[in-house]
Amino acid sequence: MYITRSNQTCIYQSFDSSFVSALLGPRRVGKTTLVQHYAQQHPKYIWVFLNMDDRAERSRIEKNELMAIIQEKAEQRIGKGQKIWVAIDEAQKCTALFDQIKLLYDQFKDKNAIKFILTGSGFLTLHQLSAESLAGRLELHYLREFNLQESMIFKWTKKVLSGESLLDIACDQNNMKKLEEHIASRAPLRLLTEKALSEQLIWGGFPEVLSSEDTPSRHRYLSNYLQTYLEKDIRAISTVTDLNLYQKLLEITAEQTGSVRQEKEIVEALGCSRDTLKKYRGFLSATLVYKEIYPFIHRSLKRIVKSPKGYLFNNGLMSYLSGIDDETILQKTGLIGHRFENWFLKELQVWLDRENKRSEIYYWRTSSGIEVDFIVEKKPFVFPFEVTYSDRILDKKIKNLTTFLHEEKNASIGFYLYRGIFHYDQKSRICFIPAWAMN
């Protein structure tokens, strides 16, 4: 069964455009499946599928034969017949590819004769591929692992939920009645959504992991995933000279997800230089397994803690690397909060992926310890989010939100995401959202 992705509409709109479309995301999140589904919806198009994991295809392209390959597979010359649609997997692995795409795009753009769709499990700029070659010609989109709604549909219900995103509605302070009605409409699926959320906190959103029902097979998949990532993605980077060190950094990143980065302690634990740490961490980000959230800087600059917080993107990998895959143990050790925060960061990213407007995710912390977990900036507006696994309203977190709302003039409403009930406090301008409603 194909699962409609949350940001599929904007991705397919890009596929329909004349620009080169690039779809980036970690391994095994469904990029190729999504492109193939689009192709199945357009069977009359002439399709050419290439994969840069294929040495033979990569070798020919390195000999400047991309045009020849396309014409052979399409069985026609470009511009002398029907438009050709070219889908290329793992595009970042062939440095010779992008100049040739640029030449073909520029040569045939006025004839609407060819369309390129690129997918990759790393930034296309990882090898400085697209920044120079495809500037002004490229539309970039992301595909994440399954979010809460997608995993619920995948596992337990075939019901496709329609309508606006909860976060789109919530960010309109004058629409609280509509938000209440939206959440109420999701209530019949609450038990399934809470079940899906529990799985997301332990196992993340890889489709293959969610389709398995037993812990040993899930661990085997995650082990194989990690080894494939190290052997195929990281070993191919010539400046990564120590895979064991890189894997240790992954393990430390899993342990410290959601915490402010402690550079000195990490350098000492790894026994490497700061330059090596910086370089390897850059590859974690570039291969889309890790994200850093930087402090939100406003007018009170001297009060802000400036170190970023780091997040390993997948809770399943965190379970595998840390050896903790039990929700009860995570609750007893207090680690469940970081898993909950990590899950919600993904929900925020998927939400922001749906539109082309520039947006950023930050956190806010003063030197006196007042902190807000996430700040979403969608200029000119700013939206603060406090996130807690608790089902209670915690005074400290309310104080954090009210302090931020008082100090930031562009923030008109704050959000408290937890496992309690929905309500909106008009006086404090805080909206309390149950986590299950994120479906």
Average pLDDT score over residue span 371-376:
97
Mean pLDDT calculated for residue range 311-327: 96
Name the least confident of 198-202, 244-248, 265-269, 353-357: 353-357
Of the listed ranges 119-123, 179-183, 361-365, 374-378, the least confidently predicted one is 119-123
Cβ neighbours around 159 below 10 Å, total: 11
| Listed residue (109, 53, 102, 51) closest to 78, CA to CA | 109
Residue 181 CB-density burial (10 A; 0-12 exposed, 13-18 middle, 19+ buried) = exposed
- Entry pTM: 0.94
Q: SS3 for 379?
A: coil
Residue 12 has pLDDT above 70, yes or no: yes
Structure confidence at residue 131 as a pLDDT band (50, 70, 90) = low
pLDDT tens-digit series, residues 207-238? 999 999 899 999 999 999 999 999 988 988 88
Q: What is the pLDDT of residue 127?
A: 44
pLDDT > 80? residue 310: yes
Residue 398: which pLDDT band, with cuts at 50, 70 and 90?
very high
Q: Per-residue pLDDT for 123 more than 80?
A: no
What are the pLDDT digits (tens) for 263-290? 999 999 999 999 999 999 999 998 999 9
- Judged against a pLDDT cut of 80, whether residue 438 lies above it is answered with yes
pLDDT of residue 225: 97
Closest C-alpha among 317, 320, 385 to residue 351: 385
pLDDT for 161 beyond 60: yes
How confident is residue 135, by pLDDT bands cut at 50, 70 and 90? Answer: confident
Confidence band (pLDDT; 50, 70, 90) for 356? confident
Query: How large is the average pLDDT for residues 394-407?
Result: 96
**Sheet containing 430-434: which strands, arranged edge to edge?**
309-312, 290-295, 360-365, 371-378, 381-387, 414-418, 430-434, 423-425
Q: What is the pLDDT of residue 129?
A: 52
pLDDT score of 77 = 97
* pLDDT for the residue 132: 62
Domain annotation for the chain: domains and CATH numbers:
8-143 (3.40.50.300), 150-438 (no CATH)
Q: Tell me which DSSP letter residue 5 carries.
A: P
Helix H or strand E segment including 84: strand 84-89
- What is residue 22's predicted lDDT score, i.e. its pLDDT? 93
